[in-house]
Amino acid sequence: MIDLRDIKLTLIILIFSGLTACADLSMYNQAPAPIGHQGTSTSPDYPKQEVVISALGEPSDDGIEVPVPIQQQSSQMIANPAVVALLDSSFQQQKAGNLSIAASTLERAVRISPRNAKVWHELALLRFQQANYNLALSLASKSNLLAANDRLLRYKNWQLIANSKLKLGDRNGASDAQSQADSLR
Amino acid sequence: MASMRKKPTTIKKNKSQRVKRSVKRSSSKNKDSFSFLGLFIKILLLFSIITVGYLGYLDHIVRTQFEGKRWALPAHVYANPVELYQGYSISISEFEALLSDLHYRKDPQLSSSATYRRSGTSFTIKTRPFEFSDSNEASRLVKISFQGQKVLKITELQPRRSIAILRLDPARVGSFYPTHKEDRILVQIDNVPQTLTDALVAIEDRGFYHHYGVSPKAILRALWVNIQAGGVVQGGSTLTQQLVKNFFLTSERSLWRKIKEALMALILEAHYEKDDILEAYLNEVFLGQVNEVSIHGFGMASVFYFNQPLRELKPHQVALLVGMVKGPSYYEPRRHPSRALKRRNLVLDEMVRLDFLPQQQLKMAKRHGLGVTDKKQLKTDRFPAFLDLVKRQLSRDYEEADLTSDGLKIFSTLDYRVQVQAEKKFVETLNKLSRQYGFKKGSLQGAMVISRRETGEIVAVIGDRNPKFSGFNRALDAIRPIGSLVKPAVYLTALDDPSQYTLITPIEDKAIQLKQADGSLWEPRNYDRKEHGDVPLHTALANSYNLATVRLGIDIKVANVRTTLERLGISRPIKPYPSLLLGAIPLSPIEVTQMYQTLASDGFLTPLRSIQSVLSASSEPLQMYPLTVRQTVSASATYLTNVALQEVMRTGTGKSAYQQISPEYQLAGKTGTTDELRDSWFAGFSGDYVAVVWLGRDDNKPSKLTGASGALQVWASVMKDISKQAVQLIVPSDIEYIWIDAQGLRANEFCSGAVQYPFIKGSSPTVFSPCVGAVGKTLERASRWFDRLLND
């Protein structure tokens, strides 16, 4: 026999689930407030999904030009055609067997887009190809940090880290990394 | 001979000997003529042996020097090439300054490479060709349009197509010369304009292709002309002889030297082709002087006088250079323009007379002015502090001799514009501070190092209050106690133990006494001489409280702080005394930069680099210096530290920076002041750059400046000019933001006065604030349970 308490409990659980799901989403989407940011439920005014390039030299209230910085979401920089062109170049160079030159090209891409997780990942792959496993896994870790919510990229990075550790003879490290990768599938 | 050398026989002789002697005497008379001939032959033989030996010796000199490394070429250092792309942040005036840095000329006709014209918000440019390590970029005709302060579009015009990225030729920023300072751009005979070789032969050695190295005809002609003129008007030397003179011999003028020169010219011609000799000549001939550096060869002369590569020169320019061979100082076009012009026209006339130049072109050529550029383009060592760094980093891999003679091409990480702008602001602010505080002129010194935040590439170095001065390089060699700059390492160590410390952990800012190794008492004090009681950890760092820091440091152990410093990239030996906690550790500005670089790179040690690659003189890659990173400190502890460093700037000791820069940059940094205000430090980063400034006096007397009132002012004024990106810290996956109330208890967004803080997961307070009701608590608990469920 279904009790009123059971109904209440079910309702509560349903509501909680709904609410926690919302809380979850807001935690992932919300850019963190700085320390001391007073309690409001609205998120701070950082750009979320689109690349915002604010014009430099916007006049402030008293007419003096105050340079305003560019704020860009790292994962959105992949849209930069210059970076795409350099990645393409690098692939061509790799196909032709010029790994060293391909690395220079990728480093140019890093210089242009330094918080771009994908570029760091490509560089990590290249170093792996060059049998520089220590560097490969470091670059992949850096890419992971920058990858934030990009699940697929983080999986690829962990996989690369696992492969690198295996090559270096670190079986325990490799299996740890592999389980990280597997958990992201 | 023997009979000649023998001593005359003694007088007392017997008759038989006298007979013998008379017989001998009569026969020796005949022998005399024979022996004279014999003597003559023997002398001739000796002479021949000596001559042949000497010729062999000359031959050896000629061949080994001619075939071996012929010229000691200086190494050239280039800045990081600028890469333009759609959306690249650069204003029109900055772009024009860039073109000026690269010595591009305004020319509506775009008649040669390295020229440009502007129409409104777009530029049409003919780029300078350049051989990079990974590609050979030819000269291109491109159009670049701007919108606001960014590049809007880049289009190539021949063939017409859109370009995603355009890499301009890099600026040359310095050279490493061998002791005899000569500069050259080597040219190959196949790449030299025909007009040049024609003109040269016509003016200097008409019979070049026919003689054997010495031209008796030329000598006789010269003799005749000179006698007629009553002085030396014409030289009778062939190009070969001139080459020998410059290449092998000193400038002494004597008959013997002339003979030697002639012999060597003959030997040279015997071994080598005309074209080889001509090529060597083209690269050897002296064509000018700039201070201590001499210009040799037409390749370098073309760039030096016309700012153009040799193959682009027009007849009137070629004629000038050929005319100058006779006397580069006498016919120097910038100092003696009318003389130079006359000489040039004379050469042009000769070229026409000998059919090397069509008559119709003569008029056109003569109508041109000299065409030399105004500025002397040979800029040596514009950035001595940076070049010093490059040289030191290179000397690990290259010997001094190779460095200054192999013609290496060194691609550095220098950002020309950033260096120039930084220098400007640095000097301005230093002078302002000097005036403001009434310092004696020249007493306040300083240094600055700027690097790219993610890659550790050093973009600018300033080593002196007068940045162009090449002397004591304070950026690399001024080793001073860093004071409060050490504190982030202390707090980072603590935050790396989340079970014990979080950003809100209370710390006692209370007086403390420590017994030192020698038995004396150390009693540190706060800057404001006050005690602040219990303060949250982040506040202690933001306000740079000494007492709290020392107490914290003792708790976590000084040895652990030392380990953190080593992980951050300090390689100098560190003494783990308590005074380390307040920065009694002397470091140079560049070492401090390395430390803050690791913080800025999210805990990844990114070794600072000043060089990207080294190429041989023929552009073969010799050495690459790759981007290297290694995680040495946990990303989450670093994140928490950086968040606290942002608070330093917003509300702590660094807040005056936001009087100059927009707070939207969300800078992270730390002030540093040492005992009695001897050293004024600031270290910090924006989204794109890490920078460290040191101010102080060389005599180590107090400078009256704190980190905030001195170094920070310089730092902020430079960063304002160069930085274009805000700091956006990426939240590591094991960090969560939790609402905390004023008492440090767990709250939620509905509690008044509550604030969000980042915590490493599992370290946030579990005790709820009274403001959170029962529903709130349950929601929270459920949410945390759900969270764990998702992540397991």
Query: Is B758 strand, coil or helix?
Result: strand
pLDDT digits (tens, 9 = 90+) for B490-522: 999 999 999 999 999 999 999 999 988 788 899
pLDDT at residue A63, as a whole number: 39
Token readout for B443 is 């007493």
Most confident segment among B180-194, B231-245, B614-628: B614-628
Computed over every residue of chain B, the mean pLDDT equals 88
- This complex has an ipTM of 0.79
pLDDT at residue A6, as a whole number: 58
pLDDT at A41 over 80: no
**What is the mean pLDDT of the segment spanning B695-721?**
95
Q: Which of the residues of B are catalytic?
A: 204, 484
**What is the mean pLDDT of the segment spanning B392-410?**
86
Rounded distance between C-alpha atoms, residue B27 and residue B61, angstroms: 50
Residue B327 backbone dihedrals phi, psi, to 5 degrees = -165, 85
pLDDT at B263 over 90: no
- Which residues from A are below 8 Å from B92, CB to CB? none
Closest CA to B610 of B720, B486, B712, B475: B475
Name which of A89, A142, A153 to mutate to probe chain B: the one with the most chain B Cβ atoms within 10 A of its Cβ.
A142
pLDDT digits (tens, 9 = 90+) for B290-324: 777 788 899 989 988 988 888 889 999 999 999 99
How many residues are there in chain A? 185
Per-residue confidence band for B22, with pLDDT thresholds at 50, 70 and 90 = low
Cβ atoms within 10 Å of B517's Cβ, excluding its own: 8
Would the CB atoms of B662 and A67 count as touching at under 8 Å?
yes
CB of A81 within 8 Å of a chain B CB? The answer is: yes
Name which of B93, B151, B454 to mutate to probe chain A: the one with the most chain A Cβ atoms within 10 A of its Cβ.
B454
pLDDT at B754 over 80: yes
CB of A104 within 8 Å of a chain B CB? The answer is: yes
User: Higher pLDDT residue, B12 or A174?
Assistant: A174
pLDDT at residue A9, as a whole number: 54
Q: Are B632 and B690 in contact (CB under 8 A)?
A: no
pLDDT at A28 over 60: no
Report percent pLDDT > 70 for chain B. Answer: 92
Q: Are B145 and B113 in contact (CB under 8 A)?
A: no
**What is the mean pLDDT of the segment spanning B257-270?**
85
Token readout for B261 is 């020169």
Contact partners, residue B128, CB within 8 Å, separation at least 6: B102, B104, B113, B114, B139, B168, B169
**What is the mean pLDDT of the segment spanning B442-465?**
96
pLDDT at A76 over 50: no
pTM of the model: 0.79
**What is the mean pLDDT of the segment spanning B214-223?**
79
User: Higher pLDDT residue, B293 or B751?
Assistant: B751
CB of A164 within 8 Å of a chain B CB? The answer is: no
pLDDT at residue B233, as a whole number: 57
- Which residues from B are below 8 Å from A142, CB to CB? 601-602, 604, 629, 631
pLDDT at residue A29, as a whole number: 32
pLDDT at residue B68, as a whole number: 63
Q: B139-148, B207-216, B721-730: lowest mean pLDDT where?
A: B207-216
Closest CA to B240 of B199, B270, B217: B270
The residue of chain A with its CA nearest to that of B750 is A39
pLDDT at B745 over 70: yes
* Residues paired with residue B631 on neighbouring β-strands, in sequence order: B604
Please tell me the distance in Å from A1's CA to the nearest CA on chain B. 27
pLDDT at residue A78, as a whole number: 52
- Which residues from A are below 8 Å from B538, CB to CB? 35
pLDDT at residue B533, as a whole number: 96
Rounded distance between C-alpha atoms, residue A19 and residue B101, angstroms: 60
How many residues are there in chain B? 792
**What is the mean pLDDT of the segment spanning B192-203?**
89
Please tell me the distance in Å from A148's CA to the nearest CA on chain B. 7
pLDDT at residue A17, as a whole number: 57
pLDDT at B24 over 60: no
Most confident segment among A21-25, B334-338, B650-654: B650-654
pLDDT at residue B604, as a whole number: 97
Dihedral angle computed from the Cα positions of residues B531, B534, B535 and B540, in that order, rounded to the nearest 10 degrees: 50
* Residues paired with residue B696 on neighbouring β-strands, in sequence order: B445, B679
Would the CB atoms of A100 and B624 count as touching at under 8 Å?
yes
Residue B87 has its nearest CB partner, among A53, A98, A108, at: A53
CB of A69 within 8 Å of a chain B CB? The answer is: yes
pLDDT digits (tens, 9 = 90+) for B138-148: 999 999 999 99
Name which of A13, A16, A29, A35 to mutate to probe chain B: the one with the most chain B Cβ atoms within 10 A of its Cβ.
A35
Residue A142 has its nearest CB partner, among B503, B621, B629, at: B629
Residue B728 has its nearest CB partner, among A57, A71, A135, at: A71
pLDDT at residue B35, as a whole number: 76
pLDDT at B753 over 90: no
pLDDT at B711 over 80: yes
Q: A36-50, B108-122, B327-341, B602-616: lowest mean pLDDT where?
A: A36-50
CB of A74 within 8 Å of a chain B CB? The answer is: yes
Contact partners, residue B479, CB within 8 Å, separation at least 6: B586, B587, B588
How many A/B residue pairs have CB atoms within 8 Å?
Answer: 181
pLDDT at B663 over 60: yes
- Which residues from A are below 8 Å from B689, CB to CB? none
**What is the mean pLDDT of the segment spanning B14-43?**
65
Terminal Cα distance for chain B, rounded = 113
Distances (CA, A) of B129 to B141, B167, B373, B622: 11, 11, 19, 21
The residue of chain A with its CA nearest to that of B601 is A142
Per-residue confidence band for B403, with pLDDT thresholds at 50, 70 and 90 = confident
The residue of chain B with its CA nearest to that of A23 is B783
Residue A111 has its nearest CB partner, among B455, B666, B725, at: B455
Most confident segment among A75-89, A153-167, B178-192, B294-308: A153-167
**What single string gives the DSSP state of each residue in B195-229?**
HHHHHHHHHH-TTTTTSSS--HHHHHHHHHHHHHH
Closest CA to A120 of A161, A176, A92, A72: A161
pLDDT digits (tens, 9 = 90+) for B672-700: 999 889 999 999 999 999 999 999 999 99
pLDDT digits (tens, 9 = 90+) for B65-74: 777 646 778 8
User: Higher pLDDT residue, A84 or B307?
Assistant: A84
Please name the residues between 4 and 23 in chain A that touch chain B, using a CB distance below 8 Å: 16-17, 19-20, 23
Would the CB atoms of A35 and B455 count as touching at under 8 Å?
no
**What is the mean pLDDT of the segment spanning B314-339?**
92
Would the CB atoms of B83 and A135 count as touching at under 8 Å?
no
Report the b/e string of A119-151 with b at 16+ CB within 10 A: bbbbbbbbbbeeebbebbbbbbbbbbbbbbebe
**What is the mean pLDDT of the segment spanning B129-144?**
92
The residue of chain A with its CA nearest to that of B148 is A55
Would the CB atoms of A56 and B736 count as touching at under 8 Å?
no
